[in-house]
A = this chain, B = another copy of it.
Amino acid sequence: MTYSKFNFEIIKQSKSYNARLGIIHTPHGAVKTPAIIFCGTKANVKGVTIDHLKQEKTQIILSNTYHLLLQPGPEIIQKAGGLHKFTGWDGPMFTDSGGYQVFSLGYGGVAAEIKGVKLSHGKKSLLRITEEGALFRSYIDGKKVLLTPELSIQTQIALGADIIVCLDEYTPYNTDKMLVSNSMVRNKRWALRCRNELERSGNNTQGLINVVQGGVYEDLRLESASFANENDFDGLAIGGSLGKTVDEMYSIVKMTKGMLNNNKYVHLLGIGGIKDIFTCFKYGIDTFDCVSPTRIARHGIALVKVKENKIKNNNQINITSAPFTEDFNPISEECDCYTCKNFTKAYIHHLFKAKETLGGQLLSFHNIRFLNHMMENIRNAIENDNIDEVEKDYCN
């Protein structure tokens, strides 16, 4: 069945956890959840053609409004007939609001925060945040751009993704509670402006997602979640600072998810490690996104089940390491990706040693298929109520 607009349906609620099986219906097809959304930041998944994305059973991809706003610009993509026609990807698509990049380039992102990475602030691109929006400097040509809720929505309408996101400010971990609160309250006003802008456009095919903020503060998360529940959004996302450690992140995700209307689609922004997915789908998170599967692939890292790895409790093998020089087996005997069906670890090792980009392409195919397959297994585990058993293959 094809839906002419965004719609989320819960198929089954897990008995043992808050996990659920669902379907996101969109004008470009359905997404079975829990699902992972692969990042095609600048209107392409780096090094991966659409036919290979499909061959590896990708359901949905994401492009970044921030990057496309600056290059090539929404006018070009609108003239091309939207992002689907421009990129050739005819399946479900997600765009973010552009806010995350604007603010993380000013503050540093969630992952950097959790890893304790400090950003160099030598080139500050975020100039000013006002009620109107965020003023920043383009990394392409240095021009000043005022990203307002209206511009974010107009841009996302021009791009034409199936799931779009309200502009919100992201406050970093160390922000004073009063400032986090002010920001969260302004985000509510921005979200209403986004909804109004989408309504004003007459466009009713795109699903609009509101981001729940409030940092590490339970009362602020609750206020943000209540706003999200009470207003008419097609789905919700958990964003903002999720604390300083992985355990804190999990506890804030769990707490926040618990505050949300259980019928709504919920996305976890920018998180998609294997352990993260296994922890958070059990809280009821429906979709995840992360640049890491293809980024680590380009650096020689292939994802594997823990039982397939000689390194204990580890999901990654580094194909550039010496033992793979003469390893004439595929990355995984179980995997049905293009790479595992056709090539050995020794060949991919050689491509990396010879500095051939094809190596990163082949590992990208594998990592995409690995995660899509993992999500299939997770959905089957919800269906069959054997989540713990399936989890053992992937995490210890």
Residues of A within 8 A of B (CB): 42-44, 46-52, 67, 71-72, 76, 79-81, 86-88, 325-326, 328, 338, 342-344, 346-347, 349-351, 353-354, 356-358, 361-362
CB distance from A123 to the nearest CB of B (A): 18
5 nearest A-B pairs in the assembled complex, by CB-CB distance: A42-B354, A88-B342, A72-B350, A44-B358, A47-B357
Q: Which of B80, B338, B347, B349 contacts A51 (CB 8 A)?
A: B338
- Expressed in whole angstroms, the Cα–Cα distance for A353 and B140 within the complex equals 10
Name the distance in Å between A45's Cβ and chain B's nearest Cβ: 8
CA distance A342 to B51 in the complex (A): 10
CB-CB nearest in chain B for A353: B71
CA distance A47 to B355 in the complex (A): 11
Bound: A326/B328 CA distance, A: 47
Which B residues lie within 8 Å of A325 (CB)? 72, 76
In the complex the two chains form, is A86's CB within 8 Å of B346's CB? yes
Q: CA separation between A351 and B361, bound complex, in Å?
A: 16
Q: List 11 A-B contacts (CB under 8 A).
A: A43-B347, A44-B358, A46-B356, A48-B358, A51-B51, A71-B353, A71-B354, A72-B349, A76-B326, A80-B346, A88-B342
- Contact A42/B80 with A88-B342, A338-B51 known, Cβ cut-off 8 Å: no
Bound state CA distance, A81 and B356, in angstroms?
A: 21
Residue on B nearest A51 in the bound complex, by CB: B338
Cα separation A80 to B330 with both chains bound (whole Å)? 12
A353 surroundings in chain B (CB, below 8 A): 71-72
Residues on B with beta carbons closer than 8 Å to the beta carbon of A87: 347
Shortest distance from the beta carbon of A91 to any chain B beta carbon, whole Å:
14
Q: How far is the CA of A87 from the CA of B343 in the complex (A)?
A: 7
In the bound complex, how far is the Cα of B357 from the Cα of A344, in angstroms? 24
**Interchain CA distance A52-B50 in the complex, whole Å:** 12
Q: Are A328 and B358 in contact (CB under 8 A)?
A: no
| Contacting pair A361 B47 (CB below 8 A) | yes
A80 CB to nearest B CB, Å: 6
Chain B nearest CB, measured from A141 CB (Å): 12
A342 touches B50 (CB 8 A): yes
Q: Can you add 11 more A-B contacts, CB < 8 Å, to A49-B362, A72-B353, A79-B326?
A: A42-B350, A42-B354, A42-B356, A44-B351, A44-B358, A47-B47, A71-B350, A79-B346, A80-B328, A80-B344, A88-B343
Q: In the complex the two chains form, is B86's CB within 8 Å of A358's CB?
A: no
Nearest CB in chain B: distance from A100 CB, A? 18
Chain B nearest CB, measured from A53 CB (Å): 11
| A49→B358 contact, CB < 8 A | yes
In the complex, A361→B49 CA distance in Å? 9
- Residues of B with C-beta under 8 A to A357: 46-47, 357
User: Across the interface, do A346 and B88 meet the contact criterion of CB distance under 8 Å?
Assistant: no
Question: Which residue of the partner chain, among B44, B80, B328, B338, contacts A49 with CB atoms under 8 Å?
Answer: B338
Could you tell me the distance in whole angstroms from the C-beta of A284 to the nearest C-beta in chain B? Answer: 35
A86 to B347, alpha carbons, bound, how many Å? 6
A79 to B42, CA, bound (A): 41
CB A138 to nearest CB in B, in angstroms, measures 13
Q: Which residue of B lies closest to A339 (CB)?
A: B49
Nearest opposing residue in chain B for A43, CB measure: B350
The residue that A52 contacts in the complex, of B49, B71, B81, B362, with Cβ under 8 A, is: B49
Q: Which residues on B sit within 8 Å (CB–CB) of A338?
A: 49, 51
